[in-house]
Protein backbone atom coordinates (compact mmCIF):
# COMPACT_ATOMS: atom_id res chain seq x y z
CA UNK A 1 0.00 0.00 0.00
CA UNK A 2 1.29 3.41 -0.94
CA UNK A 3 1.72 6.34 1.43
CA UNK A 4 0.54 8.59 -1.38
CA UNK A 5 -3.18 9.32 -1.49
CA UNK A 6 -5.16 8.00 -4.46
CA UNK A 7 -6.59 10.91 -6.40
CA UNK A 8 -9.90 10.39 -8.19
CA UNK A 9 -12.44 12.54 -10.03
CA UNK A 10 -14.47 12.52 -6.78
CA UNK A 11 -11.79 13.88 -4.43
CA UNK A 12 -9.69 15.88 -6.91
CA UNK A 13 -10.95 19.43 -6.29
CA UNK A 14 -11.04 19.06 -2.51
CA UNK A 15 -7.50 17.68 -2.47
CA UNK A 16 -5.73 20.10 -4.83
CA UNK A 17 -7.67 23.35 -4.33
CA UNK A 18 -5.49 24.58 -1.48
CA UNK A 19 -1.77 24.28 -0.82
CA UNK A 20 0.85 22.30 -2.69
CA UNK A 21 0.11 18.96 -4.38
CA UNK A 22 2.37 16.52 -6.23
CA UNK A 23 0.44 14.27 -8.61
CA UNK A 24 2.04 11.08 -9.93
CA UNK A 25 0.19 9.89 -13.06
CA UNK A 26 0.95 6.17 -13.29
CA UNK A 27 -0.38 2.74 -14.34
CA UNK A 28 0.07 -0.77 -12.95
CA UNK A 29 1.69 -2.01 -16.19
CA UNK A 30 4.22 0.86 -16.40
CA UNK A 31 7.78 -0.22 -15.56
CA UNK A 32 9.19 3.29 -15.05
CA UNK A 33 6.21 4.07 -12.78
CA UNK A 34 7.15 1.11 -10.59
CA UNK A 35 10.75 2.38 -10.51
CA UNK A 36 9.77 5.73 -8.99
CA UNK A 37 7.01 4.41 -6.70
CA UNK A 38 9.35 4.05 -3.68
CA UNK A 39 10.50 7.67 -4.10
CA UNK A 40 6.88 8.85 -4.22
CA UNK A 41 6.15 6.92 -1.00
CA UNK A 42 9.19 8.49 0.68
CA UNK A 43 8.07 11.96 -0.40
CA UNK A 44 4.58 11.26 0.98
CA UNK A 45 6.09 10.46 4.38
CA UNK A 46 8.54 13.38 4.28
CA UNK A 47 5.92 15.98 3.32
CA UNK A 48 3.07 14.69 5.50
CA UNK A 49 1.19 17.76 6.72
CA UNK A 50 3.14 20.10 4.40
CA UNK A 51 2.11 19.02 0.88
CA UNK A 52 -0.30 16.53 -0.66
CA UNK A 53 1.55 13.66 -2.36
CA UNK A 54 -0.95 11.87 -4.59
CA UNK A 55 -1.21 9.28 -7.34
CA UNK A 56 -3.60 9.04 -10.29
CA UNK A 57 -4.02 5.65 -11.95
CA UNK A 58 -4.49 6.67 -15.60
CA UNK A 59 -6.32 3.43 -16.41
CA UNK A 60 -8.97 4.21 -13.78
CA UNK A 61 -9.01 8.02 -14.00
CA UNK A 62 -8.53 8.75 -17.70
CA UNK A 63 -10.47 12.02 -17.47
CA UNK A 64 -7.94 13.48 -15.02
CA UNK A 65 -5.04 12.41 -17.23
CA UNK A 66 -6.78 13.98 -20.23
CA UNK A 67 -7.51 17.19 -18.30
CA UNK A 68 -3.77 17.70 -17.77
CA UNK A 69 -2.70 16.50 -21.21
CA UNK A 70 -0.78 13.52 -19.87
CA UNK A 71 0.58 11.76 -22.95
CA UNK A 72 3.18 9.49 -21.35
CA UNK A 73 3.74 8.12 -17.89
CA UNK A 74 5.06 8.61 -15.38
CA UNK A 75 4.13 12.28 -15.50
CA UNK A 76 4.50 14.20 -12.26
CA UNK A 77 2.78 17.55 -11.73
CA UNK A 78 3.22 20.03 -8.94
CA UNK A 79 0.17 22.19 -8.30
CA UNK A 80 -0.19 25.24 -6.08
CA UNK A 81 -3.77 26.04 -5.11
CA UNK A 82 -5.01 23.90 -8.00
CA UNK A 83 -2.80 25.50 -10.68
CA UNK A 84 0.05 23.61 -12.36
CA UNK A 85 3.44 25.17 -11.58
CA UNK A 86 5.83 22.39 -12.60
CA UNK A 87 5.82 19.20 -14.70
CA UNK A 88 8.22 16.27 -14.96
CA UNK A 89 7.89 13.48 -17.53
CA UNK A 90 9.67 10.18 -17.05
CA UNK A 91 11.65 8.82 -14.14
CA UNK A 92 12.63 11.82 -12.04
CA UNK A 93 15.04 11.66 -9.09
CA UNK A 94 13.42 12.09 -5.67
CA UNK A 95 15.77 14.97 -4.84
CA UNK A 96 14.64 16.89 -7.94
CA UNK A 97 11.01 16.46 -6.92
CA UNK A 98 11.75 17.49 -3.34
CA UNK A 99 13.55 20.65 -4.53
CA UNK A 100 10.59 21.51 -6.77
CA UNK A 101 8.12 20.99 -3.92
CA UNK A 102 10.28 23.06 -1.54
CA UNK A 103 10.48 25.88 -4.10
CA UNK A 104 6.68 26.07 -4.27
CA UNK A 105 6.28 25.77 -0.49
CA UNK A 106 8.65 28.72 -0.14
- What are the residue numbers of the active site? 30, 33
Closest CA to 22 of 34, 71, 41: 41
| Peptide bond just before 74 cis, omega within 30 deg | yes
Chain-centroid distance of CA 49 in Å reads 16
Amino acid sequence: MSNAAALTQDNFEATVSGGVTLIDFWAEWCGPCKMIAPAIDELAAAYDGKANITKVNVDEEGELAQKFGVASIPTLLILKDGEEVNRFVGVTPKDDLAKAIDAVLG
